[in-house]
Amino acid sequence: MRLAKSLAAAMLLTAGPALAGQDYACAPWQPAGQTPDLSAVSVLKSTLVVTAGAAPETIRMMQGTLTRRVYPDETGLYVLHGDMVRTENGPGFGPSITVQRLVHDPDHPTLLLTTCEASR
């Protein structure tokens, strides 16, 4: 019983910061019309939840620093840039971030750009 309580406490302590994220509402992509606009992103400890048109997509971080994080998916990369701030769950991004989207297409690679503002 003691072991079960210890494991439960450890899971709660380690799960808290990993689940807490920063939510941002995003402006339309520039240049416009290339892909569905990014309506929102949630930046978590090691994942990114992207909402663009259909259901949200969760992407694992490939590389990260205090001011930049890179997230690959099946069609390209998301790169987030922002100022580092201290949060209750460790370092995070400030009230606004810049999101770059590199769409990998051998015939026509595309680089999109938008800004996102904290929504909570």
Using one digit for the tens of pLDDT, what is the confidence trace for 9-48?
333 333 333 345 899 999 999 998 778 888 999 999 899 9
CB 43 within 8 A of CB 68: no
Per-residue model confidence (pLDDT) at position 41: 96
**Higher pLDDT among residues 36 and 64, named by residue:** 64
Q: How far apart are the first and last CA of the chain?
A: 39
Least confident of 8-17, 43-52, 75-84, 100-109: 8-17
Give the mean model confidence (pLDDT) for residues 86-111: 91
Phi, psi (5° rounding) for residue 15? Answer: -80, -30
Do the Cβ atoms of 22 and 89 come closer than 8 Å?
A: no
Structure tokens given for 53: 């048109």
For the chain, the structural domain boundaries read 20-118
What is the pLDDT at residue 20? Answer: 56
State the pLDDT confidence band at 7, using cuts at 50, 70 and 90: very low
CB 78 within 8 A of CB 71: yes
